[in-house]
Structure 1
Amino acid sequence: MPTFVHLADERDAEKIRKNGIKSRKNFGVYCMPVIQNFYLSHQWLRELKRDGTKSIVGVYFKMPSAEMVFAGRYGQRHRHITAGEAIKEIMALDDALGYELIVDRKIEAKEIVGIKHLPQTLGWRYMPDSHNKKPCSCEYCLKGTIKGRRTFNRLDSEE
């Protein structure tokens, strides 16, 4: 059985250990397979921290490779395939940044094999390969982000 990682707020770690990972209404549980490329498995960490979460932990769980998941890149159409097929697809891609898996059910506490503290500087922000690309400067996109007003003023003055 392959191992998967779900990134969660450290403050929720004990609840998750006790009760499992609840599927958010109409969203499912987002995860990535644990593969040899540590960065790729944990690529979403910095993007998830943009909402103001101070510390994120990795919740590791096992799931059968025959289980159906939704797989694809963020912002693109996802396919309903087995977890094993999704892992093969990730391994075959030249650039798997932005890829995600969504499990359409709750992850039970008995499926969780561990919760680990992670380096908090892993991954990309905004989108993969976002360096040298300006973020969207509209107030809606920057609302509630860390230093959003400063970024808005800087981008607004450059135009």
Structure 2
Amino acid sequence: MAIFVHLTSAANAPRVRRAGIRADSHGQGGARGVYCFPVLASYTLTHQWLRELGRFGSRGGLVAVHVRLDDAQDVLVGHYGERRQEAQDTVPAAEAVRRIAALEDPRGWEVFVPRAVRPREVHRIRTAPQVVGWRYRPDAHGVRPCTCFGCRVRGEYGGRRLRERLPHPLDGPPPPARVLLARIAQAGDPGDPVVLREALHWFGMRRRGPLAELGRLALHPDPGVREDLVWAIGHWSTPGVAEVLRTLADDPDPDVRDAVEGVS
């Protein structure tokens, strides 16, 4: 039997003991299953994902669930960076353990079980120290962190200070809303598309905004401005967004209509 460790919130421990581990995660190709890692001789390597997973929050900290799988159970194995490239290999569980144990540096590697883990396959649940492992990526310590919109974690501790200290040239932190509105007003009527689209780029990083001032851009003659307006306000919680999007859903430009469909 191959033994793996799965890290989950301590609040999930009673349910895991009773019903096993649900197939809540998405793997390569959109498959649903459970992520885990082989139990190796090194405690640090076995629990290397603790700090990285802890960045995304957990109730009561994380616990280590030890799982026993049949040696012949097919699993996906590979580096996490290969997941999007669909380059991970499907191998028996025993081969996944052998392959990872033989690596000189197994940090960042993972095993994906393409199904739920049954209660009888849960061997034990242990508490685990929350300071083991790497964050962001292996060898990230001492490397300037990236503050782009894709890398940041919303609500992360110290995230705002980090973005203010290391502003990204394209992704902020964005100028204050009053500054952006002043730029839009100075652009004239109907307004320079370049200036308007830059302002809408920054407004798109906000959770809400001045819809009353931006709503008029739904009638701007440049379709690029109208499309950027959709992407900027599409996920706002500001009242009235749905009405503006309904208007733009019938826009004569197909890119604008596609944008509305993309945020709906």
**TM tier, smaller:** over 0.9
1:44-96 per-residue CA deviation (whole Å, 9 max, x = no partner) reads 01000111225000011100111110000011121111111111111111110
User: Any unmatched runs of 5+ in structure 2?
Assistant: 169-264
Q: Is the counterpart of residue 93 in structure 1 residue 103 in structure 2?
A: yes
How big is the shift at 1:154? Answer: 1.5
Counterpart-to-counterpart distance in 1, 2:141 and 2:7:
23
- The letter for the 2-side match of 1:43 is Q
How big is the shift at 1:2? Answer: 2.0
1:47 to 52, 57, 66: 52
The structure richer in strand per residue is: 1
- The letter for the 1-side match of 2:11 is R
TM-score, reference length from structure 2 = 0.57
- The letter for the 1-side match of 2:2 is P
Higher relative contact order (CA 8 A, sep 6+): 1
User: Any unmatched runs of 5+ in structure 1?
Assistant: none
- The letter for the 2-side match of 1:44 is W
Counterpart-to-counterpart distance in 2, 1:134 and 1:20:
40
Q: Is the counterpart of residue 72 in structure 1 residue 78 in structure 2?
A: yes
Q: Is the 8 A contact 2:51 2:132 kept in 1?
A: yes
Counterpart-to-counterpart distance in 1, 2:155 and 2:77:
29
Q: Which residue of 2 aligns with 1:20?
A: 20
- The letter for the 1-side match of 2:127 is H
Counterpart-to-counterpart distance in 1, 2:38 and 2:161:
36
The structure richer in helix per residue is: 2
| RMSD (CA atoms) | 1.4
TM-score, reference length from structure 1 = 0.93
Show structure 1 runs of 4+ deviating over 3 A.
none
Counterpart-to-counterpart distance in 2, 1:35 and 1:116:
16
Identity rate of aligned residues, in percent? 41
Instruction: Report the structure number with the largest CA radius of gyration.
Output: 2
